[in-house]
Amino acid sequence: GNSVTQMEGPVTLSEEAFLTINCTYTATGYPSLFWYVQYPGEGLQLLLKATKADDKGSNKGFEATYRKETTSFHLEKGSVQVSDSAVYFCALTQGGNNRLAFGKGNQVVVIP
């Protein structure tokens, strides 16, 4: 079945540092790929998405490129802010039900 794998453990970094969160997936065919973010005390929000190979999703300074050859959708931001502290979930949908399969999530803590 479809699955998403995110790197283990929380990520702690200083303000203005470069952020990368790895995400790889297993799926047959051509899934759509998403990053969702959950800020403290809030619900899940869509951060960005890509629906076909080589597409780049971008929003709020974050980017992720759909790489079919490596089955990856890594999230990057060049200069993080304290306000980026949140939990980030990689996810995919495929098939006729549009059901999301999520990774375990990564907590990102940005220190001033």
Partner 1 sequence: GAGVSQSPSNKVTEKGKDVELRCDPISGHTALYWYRQSLGQGLEFLIYFQGNSAPDKSGLPSDRFSAERTGGSVSTLTIQRTQQEDSAVYLCASSLDTTTSGNTIYFGEGSWLTVV
Q: Which residues bind partner 1 (CB under 8 A)?
A: 30-32, 36, 42-46, 49, 51, 89, 93-105
How do 86-93 and 75-77 pair as beta strands? unpaired
Sign of CA dihedral 64, 62, 56, 4: positive
CB 23 within 8 A of CB 110: no
Q: How far is the CB of 17 from partner 1 (least distance, A)?
A: 26
Q: How far is the CB of 84 from partner 1 (least distance, A)?
A: 19
Beta carbon nearer to partner 1, 68 or 99: 99
Beta carbon nearer to partner 1, 32 or 72: 32
Q: Which two tokens stand for residue 112?
A: 């001033």
**CB atoms inside a 10 Å sphere around CB 21:** 22
Q: How far is the CB of 44 from partner 1 (least distance, A)?
A: 4
